[in-house]
Amino acid sequence: MVEHDIPKATAKRLPIYYRYLNLLLDSGTVRVSSNELSEAVKFDAATIRRDFSYFGALGKRGYGYDVEALMNFFGEILNQDTLASVALVGVGNLGQALLNFNFHQSSNARIAAAFDVKPEIINTIQSGIPVYSLADLESQIMDQRIDVAIVTVPADVAQDVANRLANAGIRGILNFTPLRLDVPNNVRVQNVDLTNELQTLLYFINNFGDK
Ligand SMILES: NC(=O)c1ccc[n+]([C@@H]2O[C@H](COP(=O)([O-])OP(=O)(O)OC[C@H]3O[C@@H](n4cnc5c(N)ncnc54)[C@H](O)[C@@H]3O)[C@@H](O)[C@H]2O)c1
């Protein structure tokens, strides 16, 4: 994988650029300007140019960016050719919905294994994904070389699950539970909180009105 020292905000925008470039390429578009990209992805053109500049001079003045070259370039940075296997722990309401969602269609990740403690769901296939007993967590993670886990268990067991994931060698956790997880330094946690997102949206609507 290519290593680049880039700001976190830029890194977060890369998958968005990548997805849009993919669409452009599919529609036969050969080149794109930062202004056109800006219209589509809703980041201002200066931000886009600055983001791209971290990777060297990719665009040409008056020409814009070559869609295919840019896409290949970002694909390499994002490691798109390697399909990352992800585990999901907790196949309840939210877990089921995520299993149903085909991450692979729009990213380089797919859920390869799910885990739960409910006997009625263990050893079944849900949305094409095998559900294992929590007792098999460590062995499956190691056998399937899983690096990342999505945690959708009740909050009161989330820390326990995180400890086991960390011990099994997981390097990243997408945490949907309201609990803020305590993990070793080599494990990265990304928290997803829909309530927070909704509150933020309401705040902006109530305080700033129209854009
Ligand atoms: N981030 C968000 O925006 C958001 C939205 C909704 C729910 N949540 C949170 O997501 C979590 C799941 O919510 P839900 O509505 O799907 O709950 P749920 O009760 O429907 O599902 C939880 C599942 O986890 C399983 N489970 C329990 N203990 C386990 C363990 N030790 N190991 C593995 N699996 C275990 C249960 O059997 C169940 O299938 C909760 O923590 C909830 O607060 C977050």
Mutate to test the pocket of ligand 1, among 89, 101, 153, 193 (most ligand atoms within 8 A of CB): 153
**In terms of pLDDT, which residue wins out, 75 or 86?**
86
Query: Is residue 211 scored above 70 in pLDDT?
Result: no
DSSP 124-138: -EETTEEEEEGGGHH
Architecture of domain 84-195: 3-Layer(aba) Sandwich (3.40)
CB of 59 sitting under 6 A from ligand 1:
no
Q: Tell me where in the chain the CATH 1.10.10.10 domain(s) lie.
A: 8-77
Residues 6+ apart with CB under 8 A from 53: none
CB of 92 sitting under 6 A from ligand 1:
yes
Instruction: Specify the CATH number for 8-77; select among 3.40.366.10, 2.60.40.420, 1.10.287.540, 1.10.10.10.
Output: 1.10.10.10
| pLDDT of the residue at 109 | 87
Helix-, strand-, coil-residue percentages of the chain, each rounded to 5: 45, 20, 35
Residues shown for the chain: 211
Residues 6+ apart with CB under 8 A from 150: 86, 87, 88, 89, 95, 98, 111, 173, 174, 176
The tokens 């877990």 sit on which residue? Answer: 95
90 is in an annotated binding site: yes
Q: Identify which of 14-23, 72-81, 134-143 has the greatest average pLDDT.
A: 134-143
Query: Is residue 174 scored above 90 in pLDDT?
Result: yes
Give the mean model confidence (pLDDT) for residues 174-195.
Answer: 96
**In terms of pLDDT, which residue wins out, 63 or 154?**
154
Whose CA is closest to atom 9 on ligand 1? 177
| pLDDT of the residue at 104 | 74
CB of 157 sitting under 6 A from ligand 1:
yes
Query: Is residue 154 scored above 80 in pLDDT?
Result: yes
| pLDDT of the residue at 57 | 54
**Residue 206 φ/ψ region, left for φ over 0, alpha for ψ in the -120 to 50 degree band, beta for the rest:** alpha
pLDDT tens digits for 31-66? 999 899 999 899 999 999 898 888 765 667 677 888
| pLDDT of the residue at 8 | 81
Q: Tell me where in the chain the CATH 3.40.50.720 domain(s) lie.
A: 84-195
94 is in an annotated binding site: yes
Confidence of residue 2 (pLDDT cuts 50, 70, 90): very low
